[in-house]
Structure 1
Amino acid sequence: MRFRLPRSLLSRNIALLVALVALSQICSLTVLLHFVQRPRIERASVIFADYVKLLDAALASMPPDEGRAAAARLDARSAPPPQVAAETHPRLIDFFRAWQRDMFVEALQRNLPADLLVRWDASHDEIERAANGDTAQERLWIRIHAAGKPVWIALPMTADARASGITTALWLCAALALLAALTGYLLQRHINLPLRKLARAARRVSAGETPPPLPVDGPTEIAQVSRAFNQMTEALQQAEATRALMLAGVSHDIRTPLTKLRLAIAMALPRGSNDALVASSGSYLDQIDTILQQFMDYAGSGERETPQPGDLNALAGQLVADFAGLGHEFEFEEGDLPMFEFRPIAVMRLLMNLMQNAANYGRTGLSIRTWRDASAACVAIADRGSGIRAAELERLKSPFSRGANARTHSGGSGLGLAIVDRIARLHGGSLTFRDREGGGLEAVVRLPLHPLSAGSDTASQTPRA
């Protein structure tokens, strides 16, 4: 199974912090056991061995009757205690208790003569009592000599061989590790807060809005990123203002000579003398004006329009009626859509461009339908034409791209679908194409139902082209 790192920076830093704390605790515990506990146990075993050897020598030197009486007072027995079977599933909390106990028994056996045997006694009842914290029941059975015979006596376990201090240290280490992880989590959340604000601001910029400046009073690295983002946003605002001013000038400076040229042609040629030339010249001027308007529409695409609650079904129904008056009958299938915020003029331009494309290139089987899909309002404009495939239309969403069948339709500049795609993305939505079942094409626009933020004052005050 392949190991995957956490995706978020917060989870990665927390995981790294927990791993470092755990590693430091393991190293500290290893040092504690090897350089602190082991020497203590060795010293305790030496002292305990001297005590056992002294007791063995004292009982061996007594007269037989006195030796047997003294052994009886020590609850001596001639039969050895039963061997203790290892636990099948030892608890983690008993690991250090067993480790210290076994080390003490081994060290004690090394410091005793070979005929003085050591055996650990932990019957089932004593194990249960030890699990409940009654460590006073822990005993060592040692074989010594009394009245010339080997007997087994039980001696209490020394405090140095018990793991109560280690257990406390383990709980303290676990608490410190948890505290360190919690502290790191809170610190990382505090650091991630400016990053979340930056992400939200970047999404607003991509939607054509102007977010307020980000604060630059955080950590140095975050402050540098926020300052750079503020500078980028300011540069984009200046570029937008310059573009709008330039487009306004282009619109004025070109349309004024066009109007004069149209008037000059009409005045230069007497009525009825050359109507074909006048009509042809007027048609060319209309094409220039249409192309100019498409450039203006693409440059604007509704960024400076304020979103407001509206009825998409009502807007689509109005356009269906308008196209019917022009001789293009659209079948309208109205879905259940709630009122939601969108830019009405921009969305109307979006629908008009798609409906005009369907009427120009599809001509038959024209339809428009709306429906709700989760948190998005969907509208589809379809036709039964056979001139172009959906895959090619995806390419035509790029500016100035025109299909082969567009050559028969003058007056365009290849910006129609680019305008539609830009308006859809401005609303946080999308434009997709798919081949219609039974032949033809269907263009689907998805617009989110969540409220949109209005443009900033700076954007709304930018001169319109």
Structure 2
Amino acid sequence: MRLPLRSLLARNIALLVVLVAVTQVCSLTVLLHFVQRPRIERAASIFSDYVKTLDGALSGMSAEAGRATAARLGAQTQAPEHIDADTDPSPMLLFRTYQRNVFLEALQRHLPPDMPVRWQSGDEERLWIRVHVAGTPAWIALPMAEVAQTSGITAALVLSTALALLAALTGYLIQLHINRPLQDLARAARDVCAGESPPALPTDGPTEIAQVSGAFNQMTQALKQAETTRALMLAGVSHDIRTPLTKLRLAMAMSIPRGADDTFVASAEGYLDQIDTILQQFMDYAGSGEREVPQPGDLNALIRQLASDFAGLGHDFALSLGDLPAIPFRPVSMMRLLMNLMQNAVIYGRTGFFAHTWTDGPTAYVAICDRGSGISVAEIEQLTAPFSRGGNARGHSGGTGLGLAIVDRIARLHGGSLQFRAREGGGLEAVVALPLARATAT
């Protein structure tokens, strides 16, 4: 079963409110049953003694004197109208109704059966009691003051409610204080996922939070060290391999006589070029621009420049560039991203080259499209994995399957994403989403 409250803050506040409410209900129940009820019953017992004394005095008088005294008390022979003997409890007057019912029940127990009591509600609440005036029953009304009815319970309710709200507010502020380092941790984790190096998290908070922050700091340091080691290793490998490759080119040029088989020479040089290209792709994947500083730039201008370069090689890209604001991006990394996508379109799409930019809310989009044979949906989801190549790339040599992995890393480095979808009318669209807010804050 899924809880409707997903955040830790909401769950803790809800739990605190429930606990405070249960505590207040239990406290009020104890107050009413063991404190307030005995007080009301004692007051009813004392009040019944006064009523019985009054009834005895009226009964002992002569008929004429008793009727005169009863008249001064506002007595009447019939029960008054608008008597509310069993008033339903009102949500707004719950405790007053409870106290009144307890008082009436206790008073009736202490009075004789022939002396019933009734409560009259209205603008002025009064207690009617049937007494005996010279042997004749008569109803006498006694006004009940509001202070006597509430007996301080209203103040207790207001105080309990205020304390409950104060406890909930205090818990909310405490939970906000606890949640702040968790939010910093989540933000730092997103930065690491995007390829950035966030500053070290503070470890001066609660013990549990400090342990998590310390472990995260150790993890980021280990990742940074591993990244540095990998880049250094690949740079060393590239240097150590390219040095003998250069010597091999020179040796071939010096050892192969003029007039030798040109096909063999071209093939050998082609193999050397492929090895050099593979080494460069490894280097690009190892360092996809993490150290490059973002600069505000015109993304459309960069696309026009690359389209012009590809047009000079005989590959024309149709352009549909929307109105984009200045976006801070890493120039070399972004050029590498667009060049890889456009080169893939040229190699595997062959026709229908198209570049499109637009904005949708806080996000800028770049789409590089082609009219190639396309790939299956299952293969699309695997294209960004390192060393993964689509089925239409099997016949092409010289690649390592790192081109789109580099594009994906650069997109995530800018806080964006890379997606593929089938193009309407055939072909493939590679869409890069770049959040403008993220880019501005980078």
Q: Quick check: TM above 0.5? A: yes
Q: Residue 414 of structure 2 contacts residue 438 of structure 2 at CA under 8 Å; is this kept in 1?
A: no
Deviations 1:12-36 (A, max 9, x none): 1111111111100000000011001
Counterpart of 1:125 in structure 2 is 123
Q: How far did 1:399 drift?
A: 0.9
* Aligned residue type for 1:34: H
Query: How well do the aligned residues superpose, as a CA RMSD in angstroms?
Result: 2.0
Counterpart of 1:243 (choices 221, 226, 230) is 230
Counterpart of 1:442 (choices 412, 429, 439) is 429
Q: Give 1:40-439 correspondences, 5 Å limit.
A: 40-85=39-84, 91-122=90-121, 124-126=122-124, 138-157=125-144, 162-439=149-426
TM-score, structure 1 normalization: 0.91
Deviations 1:293-312 (A, max 9, x none): 11111111111111111111
* Aligned residue type for 1:297: D
Alignment partners' CA distance in 1, 2:85 and 2:397: 93
Aligned-partner SS, 1:168: helix
Aligned-partner SS, 2:431: strand
Structure 1 pair 296–87 and aligned structure 2 pair: CA distance change class (3 A) = farther
Q: Residue 120 of structure 1 contacts residue 141 of structure 1 at CA under 8 Å; is this kept in 2?
A: yes
* Aligned residue type for 1:125: D
Q: How far did 1:276 drift?
A: 2.0
Alignment partners' CA distance in 2, 1:273 and 1:296: 35
Structure 1 pair 50–108 and aligned structure 2 pair: CA distance change class (3 A) = same
Q: Residue 391 of structure 1 contacts residue 433 of structure 1 at CA under 8 Å; is this kept in 2?
A: no
Alignment partners' CA distance in 1, 2:278 and 2:2: 56
1:38 aligns with 2:22: no
Aligned-partner SS, 2:123: helix
Q: Residue 374 of structure 2 contacts residue 428 of structure 2 at CA under 8 Å; is this kept in 1?
A: no
Identity %: 70
Q: Residue 85 of structure 2 contacts residue 119 of structure 2 at CA under 8 Å; is this kept in 1?
A: no
Q: Residue 340 of structure 1 contacts residue 451 of structure 1 at CA under 8 Å; is this kept in 2?
A: no
Deviations 1:199-235 (A, max 9, x none): 1111111122211111111111111111111111111
Alignment partners' CA distance in 2, 1:209 and 1:198: 14
Deviates more, 1:216-225 or 1:445-454: 445-454
TM-score, structure 2 normalization: 0.95
Q: How far did 1:368 drift?
A: 0.9
Deviations 1:345-377 (A, max 9, x none): 111111111111111111111111111121121
Alignment partners' CA distance in 2, 1:64 and 1:404: 119
With CA pairs under 8 Å and 6+ residues apart, which has the higher RCO, 1 or 2?
1
* Aligned residue type for 1:96: F
Structure 1 pair 40–387 and aligned structure 2 pair: CA distance change class (3 A) = closer
Alignment partners' CA distance in 2, 1:81 and 1:328: 105
Aligned-partner SS, 1:109: helix
Q: Residue 341 of structure 1 contacts residue 451 of structure 1 at CA under 8 Å; is this kept in 2?
A: no
Deviations 1:359-403 (A, max 9, x none): 111111111111112112111111111142454222122111122
Aligned-partner SS, 1:71: helix
- Structure 2 regions of 5+ residues with no counterpart? none
Q: How far did 1:313 drift?
A: 0.4
Aligned-partner SS, 1:152: strand
Q: Residue 40 of structure 1 contacts residue 160 of structure 1 at CA under 8 Å; is this kept in 2?
A: no
Q: How far did 1:407 drift?
A: 2.5
Deviates more, 1:196-205 or 1:308-317: 196-205
Q: How far did 1:451 drift?
A: 5.1
Counterpart of 1:129 in structure 2 is none
- Structure 1 regions of 5+ residues with no counterpart? 127-137, 456-465
* Aligned residue type for 1:406: A
Alignment partners' CA distance in 1, 2:145 and 2:57: 21
* Aligned residue-pair number: 442
* Aligned residue type for 2:285: Y
Q: How far did 1:275 drift?
A: 2.1
Q: Give 1:7-22 correspondences, 5 Å limit.
A: 7-22=6-21
* Aligned residue type for 2:288: S
